[in-house]
Structure 1
Amino acid sequence: MLTETEIKKIVKSLAFLEPGISDIFILSGYPFQIMVYGRMKNAFLSDYPVEVLNPFQAEEIAFVMLRDKPFLFKKLLQDGYADFSFFLDDDTRFRVNIFSRQKTYNIIMRKLESKVKSIEELSLPQVFYKIANEKFGIILVTGATGQGKTTSLAAILNEINKNEPVHILTLEDPIEYLHKPIRATINQRELGTDFSSYAEGLRAALREAPHVILVGEIRDRETMDIALTAAETGHLVFSTLHTIGAGQTINRIIGFYDKDEENQIRQRLSSALRWVVGQKLLPKIGGGRVAVFDILYNNLRSKEIIMTGESEGRTFYDIMTQGGPFGMRTFDQNLIELYDQGLIEEDIAYYHALRKDIVGRQIELIKKQKRREETPTNLEILGKGVK
């Protein structure tokens, strides 16, 4: 039987095998695996030499991790998964997901940054400072799992913490970044340990005198409804949704509600929403990953489309394309910029484009411009330089 100390040694060895490791995979039927800059790799440990983990070995590690969390055993058995934080003795932290797969238990661990990075350190768009200056309303950061949403939100909260003497309350699953108070008072609460559901935690939060509320994820109508109420009553609410693009995000929110409530929710959303920030992490030339953003600001044109819905010539994409002065941009505009700067490959830009015809044309123009710039201006003819 492995001890907690031995498991921490295994996890530490995997987490620091090489630079760029973001995730550790302990899966029945596979060797130890790591994700390095978004790519899967097998890992071999001399201190724990296994070619392939059997079900007992994966389950043993999982159950030792859950030993002091009995309430999560019940969740794992009922729902087939459990999320929690895991710490090494050097304070390296992980977000852990244990899940059931064909009667085996498996583990995926996300390595967390020990330090909350600033907007500047992360090279986030300058409009993030404007987002951090909002006083009320709801701000959504969207994207798939593992695309840096939590990191970006932590940077925004850090900016508020540095500048505003406010009460920040977070509801997380699990807590990923530990914020140290600077000017703000910060209370971080964890799902399962401090509250039973996001809806319950958010309902309680409204009685705890917060100025700023972070909800780890909006998963259902009840949570969305309370988040909107909080925004409407003068709170600044941050949260995430697993959507891609502003239009899909608005439609997902409306989809939480019945058809006969659509007009009412469109009115509430047009009033309470401030920003929608979509985010992806793409492979970077030379190694690592680079973030690409899709940013919608809820100005008068945006409000009108939220109220009436998108139509030909009146889409969120059109608003973001023309909304540069407000800090808006589309994924496609950002992809073209990154390609022009030599940060991403052409095939990556094209693959992730929402409107491939637009991105394709712009890439061809950039390539033509670069060819012209590389053409020699001096020709050697008969040993003489001719311009």
Structure 2
Amino acid sequence: MSSFNQGQAIPQWPQSTLKITEALFRELMLHVERSGGFDDMYLAEDSPLMVKAGGRMYTVVGRALGNDEMQVITKRIFSDSGVAELMQGIDIDDAFEVNDKDNRKRYRYRVNAKTARTARKSAGIHIVIRSINTTPAKLEELGIGTDIVKGMFPKQGMVLVVGETGSGKSTLLSAAIAEYVSVLEDDKVIQTYESPIENTYDKVNKRNNIIWQHAIPRNIKGGFSRGVRNALRCGPDIILIGEMRDPETIEAGIRASMTGHLLLSTAHANSVVETVRRLANNFSGDMRVARLREIVANLRLVIVQFLAPKIGGGRVPIREHFFFDQETRSELLAYDPEVMLSELDKRVRASGNTMLADARAKFDGGYITRDTLDNIEAGV
């Protein structure tokens, strides 16, 4: 289920009194999908099974799930070794699919599993399953402007899509890549490094373009920074890194963008200025100052996205964006590091493309409530 779809009530699973086997787990997943789909599914020992759809929670299995059922589900998703890894305190990220042969559909999910306290024990299995599209969404479905789409693909530099967890960052990036290869450009090589792979491009008309997707750490061990190093040996035009999450990855991303490549990635931040600050704050002392200047010198576009509750159900994207053109980068780099971020903030506000401006437009258009607008104005 797309995060931007209308939410609808998910009924309880008719077979919820039965003990969940591998076959019944598949039937459970198909029940939820055929009932309208979901954003996130929450499974935990000693707790009912619940899903979130359109920002609302629904109980699908009203009884507490047992340890044996959670083990069956874990093994179905992660293999037989999954339970042992969880009991050792190792959390697991992966993806899996469910085929609906009757309706000729394939559903894909991103999964995180771990142990956490339950009502009866200190370490019970907990799993969150996030629904993701098997093929990228269409840009028109996401309400993204053509100026932003064109600006997402400069010849080199860094383009970042940022926001909180579950804000549709990967959905937006994959939709843009699909548009790029199927409509905008030819003869490009794109290497992606994701953890896990979410959207796939198997059904996208790639024309004379190549897209190779790598799962970290299944295909490339050593994290995203290793993925960047691997990509540079493969003659890419575009490198996609799932997340700029640590100093090694940020540094490797900067190096890639400085050597004639376009780097696409995501980060957790709530504004353009916070994006730059957070990336730089992964370093300390003189290294922070140097990285701050390199980040500003190589950024080309930052898109910030927040999914707000939509009147009538579902969610609607609220966005902020800012283009770092040559003139802007040169002007910012002329300032001392202490002043640079405040000057960037002034330029973002002057551009008119702020989160608050978009929220006001969505309110005027009847998409969001006054309470939602007030929360965005207050920075909540």
Q: Do they superpose with TM above 0.5? A: yes
Quick check: 1:332–1:355 contact (8 Å CA) kept in 2? no
In the alignment, structure 1 residue 224 sits paired with structure 2 residue 250? yes
TM-score (structure 2 length as normaliser):
0.84
SS in 2 for 1:120: helix
In the alignment, structure 1 residue 255 sits paired with structure 2 residue 281? yes
In the alignment, structure 1 residue 61 sits paired with structure 2 residue 73? yes
Per mean C-alpha deviation after superposition, the further-off stretch among 114-123 and 299-308 is: 299-308
Residue 351 of structure 2 corresponds to which residue in structure 1?
A: 323
Q: 2:28 aligns with which of 10, 18, 28?
A: 10
Residue identity matched to 2:56: R
Cα 1:193/1:261, change in 2 over 3 Å = same
Residue 243 of structure 1 corresponds to which residue in structure 2?
A: 269
In the alignment, structure 1 residue 100 sits paired with structure 2 residue 122? no
Aligned runs of 1:279-290 on 2, under 5 Å?
A: 279-290=305-316
Q: Between Structure 1 and Structure 2, how many residues are aligned?
A: 344
Q: 1:32 aligns with which of 43, 49, 72?
A: 49
Residue identity matched to 2:31: S
Give 1:73 deviation, angstroms: 6.0
SS in 1 for 2:42: strand
Residue identity matched to 1:178: T
Measure the CA separation in 2 of the matches of 1:280 and 1:224. Answer: 23
Residue identity matched to 1:97: N
Give 1:64 deviation, angstroms: 3.0
Residue identity matched to 1:101: A
Cα 1:160/1:211, change in 2 over 3 Å = same
Cα 1:131/1:79, change in 2 over 3 Å = farther
Measure the CA separation in 1 of the matches of 2:149 and 2:167. Answer: 20
1:228-283: per-residue Cα shift (whole Å, max 9, x none)?
00000011101111111111111111111121123321221122111111101111
Quick check: 1:15–1:21 contact (8 Å CA) kept in 2? yes
Residue 360 of structure 1 corresponds to which residue in structure 2?
A: none
TM-score (structure 1 length as normaliser):
0.82
User: Over aligned residues, Cα RMSD in angstroms?
Assistant: 2.3
1:53-73: per-residue Cα shift (whole Å, max 9, x none)?
1334323311332216x4x66
Quick check: 1:137–1:235 contact (8 Å CA) kept in 2? yes
Structure 2: gaps (5+ residues):
1-18, 101-105, 118-122
Quick check: 1:132–1:157 contact (8 Å CA) kept in 2? no
Identity across the alignment (%) = 27
Quick check: 1:139–1:237 contact (8 Å CA) kept in 2? yes
Give 1:285 deviation, angstroms: 0.9
Aligned runs of 1:175-190 on 2, under 5 Å?
A: 175-180=197-202, 181-190=206-215
Residue 380 of structure 1 corresponds to which residue in structure 2?
A: none
Residue identity matched to 1:173: S
Give 1:35 deviation, angstroms: 0.4
Residue identity matched to 1:317: D
Measure the CA separation in 2 of the matches of 1:312 and 1:194. Answer: 39
Structure of greater relative contact order (alpha carbons < 8 Å, 6+ residues apart): 2
Residue 16 of structure 2 corresponds to which residue in structure 1?
A: none
Aligned runs of 1:238-387 on 2, under 5 Å?
A: 238-299=264-325, 300-301=327-328, 304-305=331-332, 308-309=336-337, 311=339, 314-324=342-352, 329-353=353-377
Quick check: 2:289–2:337 contact (8 Å CA) kept in 1? no
Aligned runs of 1:94-243 on 2, under 5 Å?
A: 94-102=109-117, 103-162=123-182, 163-164=184-185, 165-180=187-202, 181-196=206-221, 197-243=223-269
Structure of greater Rg: 1
Give 1:78 deviation, angstroms: 5.2
Measure the CA separation in 2 of the matches of 1:136 and 1:77. Answer: 44
Residue 10 of structure 2 corresponds to which residue in structure 1?
A: none
Residue 86 of structure 1 corresponds to which residue in structure 2?
A: 96
Cα 1:66/1:74, change in 2 over 3 Å = same
Cα 1:88/1:291, change in 2 over 3 Å = same
Cα 1:253/1:152, change in 2 over 3 Å = same
Quick check: 2:307–2:315 contact (8 Å CA) kept in 1? yes
Measure the CA separation in 1 of the matches of 2:336 and 2:27. Answer: 57
Measure the CA separation in 1 of the matches of 2:20 and 2:59. Answer: 22
Measure the CA separation in 2 of the matches of 1:98 and 1:132. Answer: 33
Give 1:302 deviation, angstroms: 5.3
Residue identity matched to 2:165: T
Measure the CA separation in 2 of the matches of 1:302 and 1:117. Answer: 32
Give 1:15 deviation, angstroms: 3.2
Measure the CA separation in 2 of the matches of 1:355 and 1:145. Answer: 17
Cα 1:192/1:8, change in 2 over 3 Å = farther
SS in 1 for 2:176: helix
Cα 1:32/1:355, change in 2 over 3 Å = closer
Structure 1: gaps (5+ residues):
45-49, 357-387
